[in-house]
Structure 1
Amino acid sequence: MMEKHAHQFERGTDGPKVIVVGVDGSESSLRAAAYAGGLARRQRALLAVVYVQPVMAAGAALGAPVAETTDAIAADLVAYIRDAAERVRDIFEVRWEFHTFHGDPYKGLLTAADELKADAVVVGASEQAGHRIVGSVAVRLVKAGRWPVTVVP
């Protein structure tokens, strides 16, 4: 008798339908977005661009305009992505959406990938030296083992 496995949706049979890419404005995250955009175009998948707005309680307690700063970063990222999509519109078209989540980048990307029913996650390699020892967001996503994860250098 075969054992039944419960799952929410099927993965891996027809290629990815939703590709989540994490962006934060860093060079590696923008390279990841470009890679994910090409993958989404070839697979005819939806590209879900995700920016996780950090929650900095200490900065907020000191009166720093943290929310305004992260909102400005999100607005700049949307403008950058729209501009890039417009430049290549006559060559190819990619369906994309921009989403913002609040919190820790790892937990934010986990939430995003779950809520958006991601078939794949793409992130840029960490540019911080300490992450080689402690573990970057990318390594933590791979260890979560919930989706194929591509790390773009």
Structure 2
Amino acid sequence: MTEQQAHRFERGTDGPKVIVAGVDGSDSSLRAAAYAAGLARRQGALLAIVYVQPVLAGGAALGAPVADTTEEIAQDLAAQIRESMERIKGIFDIRWEFHTFRGDPYNGLVKAADDLTADAVVVGASEQAGHRFVGSVAVRLVKAGRWPVTVVP
């Protein structure tokens, strides 16, 4: 084996090293983050919690402070996650990071998973009825076939 082959990254060959959990503040996304935290703890993996701040062109065109609102949501989610992690400190040892990206949820999670060299992605099931027909972010991630995707109800 050459030195280049020895250092080549392979997903999923020795258990996950990085697990991405997508959060948006919904109950299902917070359950997904909790599930991903359990996986990360058991596997000794890094838990990368990702919030994708939506870019709402229509709201921006009407003068609505969209960026400020999504930034507040990101800060609130980060505070909730920090508080949750503080409560389990000393009981469970979980390495975690919080990341935020701007864009649509699907492309933001794909970018996050790629940038963080994720071995797995965990998301909550969509809580919007229309997604049964159009397709949710979770379904699109599964169809991408780039990582194992766990969808938490």
Aligned twin of 2:118: 118
Aligned twin of 2:96: 96
TM-score (norm 1): 0.94
Q: State the alpha-carbon separation in 2 of the partners of residues 115 and 26 from structure 1.
A: 24
Task: Give the partner amino acid of 2:133.
Answer: I
Aligned twin of 1:132: 132
Task: Give the partner amino acid of 1:44.
Answer: G
SS at match of 1:29: helix
Aligned twin of 1:67: 67
Task: Give the partner amino acid of 1:32.
Answer: A
Task: Give the partner amino acid of 1:46.
Answer: L
Task: Give the partner amino acid of 1:19.
Answer: I
- Contact 1:85 / 1:93 at 8 angstroms: preserved in 2? no
Q: How many residues get paired? A: 147
Aligned twin of 2:147: 147
Q: State the alpha-carbon separation in 2 of the partners of residues 9 and 128 from structure 1.
A: 36
- Contact 1:47 / 1:95 at 8 angstroms: preserved in 2? yes
SS at match of 1:96: strand
SS at match of 1:11: coil
Q: State the alpha-carbon separation in 1 of the partners of residues 53 and 24 from structure 2.
A: 9
How far the C-alpha of 1:11 sits from its partner, in A, is: 1.7
1:80-106 CA-to-partner distances (Å, cap 9, x unmatched) read 000000001021111000111111100
SS at match of 1:114: helix
Task: Give the partner amino acid of 1:18.
Answer: V
SS at match of 1:33: helix
Task: Give the partner amino acid of 1:86.
Answer: E
Aligned twin of 1:9: 9
Structure 1 gap ranges (5+): 1-7
TM-score (norm 2): 0.94
Q: State the alpha-carbon separation in 1 of the partners of residues 131 and 9 from structure 2.
A: 33
Task: Give the partner amino acid of 2:107.
Answer: K
Q: State the alpha-carbon separation in 1 of the partners of residues 93 and 86 from structure 2.
A: 9
Aligned twin of 1:3: none
Moved over 4 A (4+): none
Aligned twin of 1:35: 35
